[in-house]
Amino acid sequence: MSENKFSRRGFLKTLGMTMGAMALEPTYNKVQAATNILERKEGKSIYGGIPLRTLGSGNTAFNVSALGFGVMGMTYNRSQHPDKKQCIRLLHEAVDRGITLFDTAIIYGPLTNEILAGEALSEFHGKINVTTKFGHEVVNGKGTGRQDSRPATIRQYCEESLRRLRTDCIPMFYQHRFDPNTPIEDVAGTICDLMKEGKVLHWGMCEVSPETIRKAHAECPLTAVQSEYHLMHRIVEENGVLDTCKNLGIGFVPYSPLNRGFLGGSINEYTVFDRNNDNRHTLPRFQPEAMRANTRIVNVLQDFGRKRGMTSSQVALGWLLQKEPFIVPIPGTTKLSHLEENLRTLDFDVSTEEWKELELAVAQVPVVGDRYNAEQQKQVGF
Q: Binding residues for ligand NAP, per CB under 6 A?
A: 70-73, 78, 103, 176, 206, 226, 255-261, 264, 266, 313, 330-335, 338, 341-342
Which helix H or strand E contains 262, and what residues bound it? none
Q: Min. distance of Cβ 236 from ligand NAP in angstroms? A: 13
Q: Which is nearer to ligand NAP, 208 or 350 (by Cβ)?
A: 208
Catalytically annotated residue among 47, 76, 108, 255:
108
> Which amino acid, one-letter code, is at 365?
V
Rounded to an integer, what distance in angstroms lies between the CA atom of residue 37 and that of residue 133?
36
Interior CA angle at 315 toward 309 and 318, to 5°? 110
| DSSP codes joined into one string, 88-123 | HHHHHHHHHTT--EEE--TTTTTTHHHHHHHHHHGG
Q: Min. distance of Cβ 279 from ligand NAP in angstroms? A: 9
Q: At what angle do helices 288-306 and 352-363 cross, to 10 degrees?
A: 150
Q: Which is nearer to ligand NAP, 60 or 278 (by Cβ)?
A: 278
Q: Min. distance of Cβ 35 from ligand NAP in angstroms? A: 32
Q: Is 61 helix (H, G, I), strand (E, B) or coil?
A: coil
Do 274 and 247 touch, CB atoms closer than 8 A?
no
Q: How many CA atoms does the CB half-sphere of 360 hold within 13 Å?
A: 6
What is the total residue count of the chain? 382
**Total Cβ atoms within 10 A of residue 362:** 19
Q: Which is nearer to ligand NAP, 196 or 205 (by Cβ)?
A: 205
Q: Min. distance of Cβ 158 from ligand NAP in angstroms? A: 17
Q: Which residues contact 344 (CB under 8 A, 6 or more apart)?
A: 314
Rounded to an integer, what distance in angstroms lies between the CA atom of residue 164 and that of residue 307?
46
255 is catalytic: no
Q: Min. distance of Cβ 174 from ligand NAP in angstroms? A: 7
How many angstroms separate the Cα of 25 from the Cα of each of 37, 39, 225? 16, 20, 43
Q: Which is nearer to ligand NAP, 73 or 318 (by Cβ)?
A: 73
Active site residues: 108
